[in-house]
């Protein structure tokens, strides 16, 4: 932890008033946040460029803040403070216009996270969105990319799971604090634990106790896009937070990718409109890797083909795709006995080759 970290945290306790711009003013005027916290008064903060009411608020609350106890609380939650002065501060994020000056971290950040892709989309996804998010995130993670998303339900969840299921890296950025009782949505607290256990990370710019307020999420989205080389939008209605993330990506000079969808689906309005405006149309992970000029990562995907162990498996693989296919149709196409198709599919599912969507409908697993 950087020696200045406690003082970054101290000023970040005023997070609703002090963001990147005011952090810059304080650092620029005082030279260090320790000096600003310990040896300044109202007039000094005003001279640094802070509003008078904010300067007085800091001076009033400062004696009530025990930084030693603040550090203890974070240690109890296994939360690390990463400041913009730290060597392990994400390189790509530091390049954006308004990077957070302090991040709260659970898990591990690695240099390889420079090869990241953000995957975002709607919470109310279709079966098409489900399959696409799961497959593309799986393939990108398998190829070596870190998957970044926002831990929300829907597309975000599937993006993280695509990496977690194969013990690959994923980073979740929250709009709440990282406190075990604050993580939002609460339904994904177990997923957050899984991300950390598999060597990934969860991040937030909000201190302990910060709730998931509506206005936190647009700010969170700039971090999601800022951590990545590009953003992929999978299913998003015309007015969606995912499109805000894409807008941040454009402003940050990052690539924007979109998965096309049906013209009759409201969930496809967002990505289809992005494609009209110049976003890269993609249908699989290779499209993204090639656009980012990550050819060695493309090879990782190409060498990971589904191979049959028996002639029956090969017959089934020859007829399955990523479009759902019923067992009775497979029986017709393969001309195998129904019992043999059923038993073979069960074994293939255990091997991770096919996936049962329910209702006797199967697709390729990857």
What average pLDDT values come out for the chain (366 residues) when binned by 10 residues?
93 96 95 92 95 96 95 96 94 95 96 94 94 94 94 96 93 97 95 96 97 94 97 92 93 96 94 95 95 74 70 89 84 91 89 84 80
Contact present, 289 and 301 (Cβ < 8 Å): yes
Decide: residue 333, CB within 10 A, 0-12 exposed, 13-18 middle, 19+ buried: middle
CATH T-level assignment (fold) for domain 111-302: Rossmann fold (3.40.50)
Residue from 149, 158, 113, 152 nearest 131 by CA: 158
Alpha-carbon distance of 349 to 317, in angstroms, equals 12
144 conformational bin, left if phi > 0, alpha if psi -120 to 50, beta if neither: left
In terms of Cβ atoms closer than 10 Å to its own Cβ (0-12, 13-18, 19+), residue 56 is middle
pLDDT of residue 181: 92
Dihedrals φ, ψ of 11, to 5°? Answer: -70, -30
Adjacency order of strands within the sheet including 325-326: 325-326, 361-364, 354-358
Are the beta carbons of 238 and 252 closer than 8 angstroms?
no
- What pLDDT does residue 61 have? 95
Looking at CATH, the fold of the domain delimited by 311-364 is given as: Arc Repressor Mutant, subunit A (1.10.10)
- Least Cα distance to 142 among 277, 284, 267 occurs for 284
Under a CB-based contact definition with an 8 Å cutoff, are residues 152 and 177 in contact?
A: no
Given a contact cutoff of 8 angstroms between Cβ atoms, the answer to whether 214 and 183 are in contact is no
Q: Which two tokens stand for residue 107?
A: 């898990």
Q: Which pLDDT score, from 0 to 100, does residue 363 have?
A: 86
Contact of 120 with 224, CB cutoff 8 Å: yes
Q: What is the pLDDT of residue 302?
A: 54
**Please, are residues 324 and 363 in contact by the beta-carbon 8 Å criterion?**
yes
Encode burial over 82-118: b for 16+ CB neighbours within 10 A, e otherwise. Answer: bbbbbebbbebbeebebbbbbbbbbbebeeebebbbb
pLDDT of residue 7: 97
pTM, 2 dp: 0.81
């Amino acid at each position: 932890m950087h020696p200045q970290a406690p003082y970054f945290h101290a000023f970040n306790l005023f997070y609703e008033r002090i963001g990147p711009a005011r952090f810059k003013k304080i650092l620029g005027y005082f030279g260090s946040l320790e000096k600003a916290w310990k040896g300044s008064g109202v007039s000094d903060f005003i001279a640094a460029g802070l509003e008078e009411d904010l300067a007085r608020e800091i001076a009033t609350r400062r004696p009530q803040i025990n930084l030693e106890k603040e550090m203890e609380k974070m240690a109890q939650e296994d939360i690390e403070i990463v400041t913009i002065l730290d060597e392990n501060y994400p390189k790509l994020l530091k390049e954006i216009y308004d990077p957070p000056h302090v991040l709260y971290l659970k898990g591990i950040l690695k240099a390889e996270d420079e090869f990241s892709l953000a995957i975002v989309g709607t919470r109310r996804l279709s079966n098409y969105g489900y399959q696409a998010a799961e497959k593309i995130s799986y393939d990108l993670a398998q190829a070596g990319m870190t998957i970044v998303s926002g831990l929300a339900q829907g597309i975000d969840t599937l993006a993280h799971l695509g990496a977690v299921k194969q013990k690959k890296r994923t980073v979740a950025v929250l709009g709440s604090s990282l406190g075990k009782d604050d993580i939002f949505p609460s339904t994904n607290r177990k997923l957050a634990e899984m991300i950390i256990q598999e060597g990934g990370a969860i991040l937030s710019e909000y201190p302990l106790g910060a709730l998931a307020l509506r206005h936190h999420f647009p700010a969170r989205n700039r971090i999601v896009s800022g951590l990545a080389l590009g953003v992929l939008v999978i299913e998003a209605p015309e007015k969606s937070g995912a499109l805000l993330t894409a807008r941040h990506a454009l402003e940050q000079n990052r690539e924007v990718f979109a998965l096309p969808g049906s013209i009759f689906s409201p969930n496809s309005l967002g990505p289809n409109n992005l494609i009209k405006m110049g976003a890269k149309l993609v249908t699989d992970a290779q499209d993204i890797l090639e656009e980012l000029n990550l050819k060695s990562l493309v090879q990782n995907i190409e060498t990971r083909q589904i191979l049959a162990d028996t002639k029956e498996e090969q017959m089934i693989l020859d007829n399955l795709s990523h479009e759902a296919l019923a067992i009775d149709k497979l029986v017709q196409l393969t001309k195998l006995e129904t019992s043999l198709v059923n038993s073979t599919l069960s074994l293939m599912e255990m091997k991770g080759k096919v996936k049962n969507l329910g209702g006797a409908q199967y697709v390729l697993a990857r």
